[in-house]
Amino acid sequence: MNTIFKICCIHFSVVFFDDIRAEEYSPSYAGGSSRLDFLLKKEEIIVIESKMASNKLKDRQVGEQLIIDIARYKAHLNCKYLICFVYDPNNNLKNPSGLEADLSKKHDALNVKVIVVSPS
């Protein structure tokens, strides 16, 4: 993911939360583990995942990555809510509203909200 975008997400989140932990490891899932972009451990309920759409990361790829992330985070003890920010600076996503609607729902015990942000 774009480092500048990740830094902006951290700085924006600091306005609302005191304890933001970047790059925490998630439990192993399907033979591997990954890092959570942001964990708000004090609240014990929120994990934030961030993506940036590009020429190589469009609707299908973003959706697939988020589906994998959702499956991983369902196993995380401190994750009851998953907020996914997708930044699309060049309008590479053809159907951002569809992506939000398809994935923003309850996945077992995990509540997921996908938010796509683009300049237009």
Q: Quick check: 51 pLDDT over 60?
A: yes
Contact 5, 52 (CB under 8 A): yes
pLDDT mean across residues, the chain: 77
User: What's the burial of 72, exposed, middle or buried (CB within 10 Å: 0-12/13-18/19+)?
Assistant: buried
Give residue 115's pLDDT band: very low, low, confident or very high (50, 70, 90).
very high
pTM: 0.73
17-43 pLDDT, tens digit per residue, is 666 666 555 555 455 555 556 677 776
Record the tokens describing residue 73, joined without a space: 């985070």
59-88 pLDDT, tens digit per residue, is 999 999 999 889 888 887 777 888 898 999
